[in-house]
Amino acid sequence: MPLINLPTFAPDLLADFASLQTERVDTPVIQPAEPFLDMAGEDLRRRIFMTESETGQSLCLRPEFTIPVCLRHIETATGTPRRYAYLGEVFRQRREGGNEFYQAGIEDLGERDVARADARAVHDALFVLGHRLPGRTLKVVLGDQAMFEAVVAACGLPRGWQKRLIHAFGNQDRLRDLLEALSQPISTGVFGPEVERLATLGLLNDEAALSRHIDETMQATGYSTNASRTPADIARRLREKMDLASVRLDVKTAATLRAFLAIEVPLNEAPAALFDFARHAGLAIDEALARFDARAKALVDAGVDPAVITYRSAFGRPLDYYTGLVFEVLADGDPAVLAGGGRFDRLMTLLGATTHIPAVGFSLWLDRIEQAIAQGASA
């Protein structure tokens, strides 16, 4: 039995989903924990309610629907494209609103026209919310994980720093701290005595030799190796740490990244703003620019008013599986996020799909929508 009441507007919500040509699906409340721990990101990982099966398998209460819906699609070997709708309880620690609440949403799997599918996700979220909140002005904040990744790559940073910055995308404080650290002079003694000794032996510039040295040391000391900590893995990680510690941003690159992250404009101005940024910075990001422009045009074609959308280059969402579009929807004058979603093109393969399946979707927070409806009724 649910511990909280389903909002009274839920049946109408399901009718809206049906009108959008979706298939209603459900997933078990008890889920394998590993996919969430591996792929959902630190913000969700620390809020999951964990348990364990009789055989010792790590399980959790369903903290969100995207991963379970994707796993269900893979397990049932259903072809694509498919549009799934869901409505049910999720369980995770929250600072406000309780730890058990209802979410609903749509996952759009396998649509090859990425711009069209992205636009449809934003349109459908606005469509459903508009029916719940007639007369309220809805605002969309839109970001683009792929655009940020393209800018970071074009700046020529080492792969390790690219990974760190990309992982921090959407967390403005963490991203600011990383850029600050990258801009500071290298401190003396940063590598430690053991790394200095390896450098003296000339091993740090030869990964194969470093791997052999680590293997010999592990054998001599009786340190057992395993699949996750092979000598080659340790050598690769050590080299990566060296690269991270020894790289600092030049003034121009630091200014370029900060200029990008400061872009915040209405959607109809965003393609031109990004094009001008790339031209002034001398960055070759034409493919990312073309995808962004195609999405902006597709949003207009889908009937979304670009005046309600703000593009914020530093905006991301706290889930690691996003790869492109990210967005949130709010009611004007209310800071509560009512809907959020984005594109997750790598997730299906990571979960076990044998072919690449592009995917995009969004979730609705039903308790927040219920509060917004009540606020409108009392106004």
Q: Which residues are annotated as a binding site for L-histidine?
A: 64-66, 92, 103, 107, 317, 321-322
Q: What is the DSSP string of 196-257?
A: HHHHHTT-TT-HHHHHHHHHHHHHHHTPPP-TTS-HHHHHHHHHHHHHHHH----HHHHHHH
Amino acid at 232: A
Residue carrying the six token digits 């106004």? 379
Which residues contribute to the annotated binding site? Answer: 64-66, 92, 103, 107, 317, 321-322
Quote the DSSP letter at residue 332: T
> DSSP of 93-116, one letter per residue?
--SSS-SEEEEEEEEEES-S-HHH
Reading the block at residue 182, the tokens are: 């990258």
**Which of 73, 10, 62 has its CA nearest to residue 33?**
62
What token pair was written down for 144?
């683009």
Burial category of 96 from C-beta neighbours within 10 Å (exposed 0-12, middle 13-18, buried 19 and up): exposed
CA 21/CA 164 separation, integer angstroms: 39
In contact, 289 and 107? CB cutoff 8 Å: no
Q: What is the C-alpha separation between 190 and 149, in angstroms, rounded?
A: 28
Q: What angle do CA 335, 296, 87 make, to 5 degrees?
A: 50
Helix runs in the chain, H state only: 10-19, 34-39, 42-45, 66-76, 114-132, 145-154, 159-168, 172-183, 192-200, 207-221, 231-246, 251-261, 270-281, 286-301, 347-350, 366-378
d(CA 66, CA 48): 15
Chain centroid to CA 105:
17
